[in-house]
Structure 1
Amino acid sequence: MILLSFDIEEFDMPFEYGKELAFDKQLSVSTEGTNKILNILKQAGIKATFYCTANYAQHKPEMIKAMIDAGHEVASHGYYHSDFKPEHLLQSKLKLEEISGHAVKGYRMARMMPVDESEIEKAGYVYNSSINPTFLPGRYNNFNKPRTWFYFKNVLQLPSSVSPLIRFPLFWLSFHNLPIGLLKWLSKITHKKDGYLNLYFHPWEFTDLNKPQEYNFPGYVVKNTGDAFVSRLTEFISWVKSKGYTFSRTDEFVEKVVKKQQ
């Protein structure tokens, strides 16, 4: 089982590298990438999960409609991407439900930062996918967390996938920088061990990020972005299908896990 997910947010990443970007531009970059993602998924005939900020959804409700109309899941990525308060957990859920017309069952914290699980439960989420169970310098050290799904505070925790033993993260940066053959091998051994992969990406990865004057991103961020990443993900999906693996929305996967535990 392969769980593809995409964090749909206002494109504020340049702020981390000392660059400013107008809000309209943030929205346009994310929207450009989201349209490419929707096209990839449509061509492949698969469904995925979109973790959206309420801020993005309020300004681009037509994109939320496009996700729903295509049969994808809309989950919460908070209210704003660079601002968090505990009350945003429920507020973002309610706003996304209002815009999408569907129940919002899942949450992912911006930048995979820690979040109070008691507040997650209180806001009514069924699952939380906010853990990258590895070490990322300057971000987090989650070697003490389980690699695969587990329950905590009555909420199903769904960490992003990392390889067995050394816990090499199979996240967006890996998909840009690893040789595709090595990426497939790591995905294969992880899937064999865990029975599923939980992979996440962002819409701006599908746009041209090699713009030093605008973004000031390092080479490992801009490598294989834009059309090159469209090709990479398309190739990966084709390889997954050739292996006989199936794809699932995250909420549908979680529902099966919950039923097995009852």
Structure 2
Amino acid sequence: MILLSFDIEEFDMPLEYNGEIALEEQLAVSRKGLQNILRILNENHIKATFFSTVVFAENNKDLIQQLLSEGHELASHTWFHSDFVEKHLSESRKELEQLFDTKVVGLRMPRMSPVSEDAVSNAGYFYNSSINPTYLPGRYNNFSVSRKPFWQKKVLQFPASVSTIFRIPLFWLSFHNFPLWIYKLLSRLSLSSTGFLNIYFHPWEFADISDPKYKLPAFTFKNTNEVMIKRFDDFIKWAKKNNYQFSTTRDFLENWTQKNKN
């Protein structure tokens, strides 16, 4: 089973590199990318999960309503992408539910940041997909974390997928920088090992983020925009040709929970 997910957020990455970008432009870049994503998913008749900040959702209500009407899952990416306090866990979930009349049960922290699982549980979430079970210098060291879903207190943890050997993360940067045939091979091996592929992307990857004023390192925008659209569509068609199924994260984990009951 392949679980595609997208962190739909303000495109604030340039600020990490002392680049320049106003909030309005951050939202516009991500909006353009989300439109491209929804088109690809619709053309290929597959469902995915979208972890949205409240800021992005409030400014793009039409696209959130569209993705829900097309059968995708809406989950929380907290309130802001670069400003977090614990109360945002509950507040963001409730605000998204109120704005779009849908049940929000999933969480992904911005930048996969650690968070109190008691707080996540108390905020009303069923699952948290905020762990990359690998080592990334300067980000996190989760090399000993399970690659499969596991309960942590009352919250179901759903790690992002990594390779079977050396735990190479199969996230957005790998998709951009690896030859696509290597990424497909690593994906196949991970699917065979765990039974699922949990990979995540961002809308701005499907837009033009090469402007020099952003001051982004080349590896962050390699194979983005039109190239990303083509590569992503190619990957989906490869998966379907190999009879891999797609699902929202919520549906997959609800089924996993039922199968793994004592």
TM-score normalised by the chain length of structure 2: 0.98
1:144-155 aligned at under 5 Å gives the runs 144-155=144-155
Q: Which residue identity lines up with residue 211 of structure 2 in the other structure?
A: K
Unmatched runs of 5 consecutive residues or more in structure 1 = none
1:167 aligns with 2:170: no
- In 1, the alpha carbon distance for the partners of 2:210 and 2:64 equals 28
Q: Secondary structure at 2:214's aligned position in 1?
A: coil
1:71-82 aligned at under 5 Å gives the runs 71-82=71-82
Q: 1:154-199, CA deviations, whole angstroms, 9 ceiling, x for partnerless residues? A: 1110000001131011000000000011111000011000000001
* CA apart distance, 1:122: 0.4
Q: Which residue of 2 aligns with 1:18?
A: 18
1:1-262 aligned at under 5 Å gives the runs 1-212=1-212, 214-262=213-261
* CA apart distance, 1:257: 1.2
Q: Which residue identity lines up with residue 132 of structure 1 in the other structure?
A: N
Contact 2:79 2:88 in 1 (8 A): yes
* CA apart distance, 1:105: 0.5
Q: Secondary structure at 2:164's aligned position in 1?
A: coil
Contact 1:74 1:100 in 2 (8 A): no
Name the Cα RMSD after superposition.
0.8
- In 1, the alpha carbon distance for the partners of 2:77 and 2:239 equals 27
* CA apart distance, 1:260: 1.7
Q: Secondary structure at 2:151's aligned position in 1?
A: strand
Contact 2:126 2:155 in 1 (8 A): yes
TM-score normalised by the chain length of structure 1: 0.98
Query: Aligned pairs, how many?
Result: 261
- In 1, the alpha carbon distance for the partners of 2:8 and 2:112 equals 14
- In 1, the alpha carbon distance for the partners of 2:124 and 2:34 equals 27
Q: Structure 1 runs of 4+ off > 2 angstroms?
A: none
* CA apart distance, 1:26: 0.8
Percent identity of the aligned residues? 50
- In 2, the alpha carbon distance for the partners of 1:12 and 1:180 equals 27
- In 2, the alpha carbon distance for the partners of 1:133 and 1:192 equals 17
